[in-house]
């Protein structure tokens, strides 16, 4: 194989590996529902 083909293959493997690494790290945090008590004194005024 030519040298440029080997370099191209190495670059492709590194890019694909990096995409899988980043995809594995991306986890969405679940939404947490927070309820706060609102007094009527805060609403009047």
pLDDT at 8: 97
How does pLDDT run along the chain (45 residues), one tens digit per residue?
A: 799 999 999 999 999 999 998 888 767 778 888 888 877 776 765
Q: How many Cα atoms sit within 13 Å of 44 on the Cβ side?
A: 3
So where are the chain's domains?
A: 3-43
pLDDT at 45: 57
State percent of the chain over pLDDT 90. 40
pLDDT at 39: 75
């Amino acid at each position: 194989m030519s040298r440029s083909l080997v370099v191209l293959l190495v670059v492709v493997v590194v890019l694909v590996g990096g995409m899988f690494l980043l995809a594995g790290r991306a986890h969405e945090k679940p939404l947490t529902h927070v309820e706060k008590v609102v007094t009527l004194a805060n609403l009047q005024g």
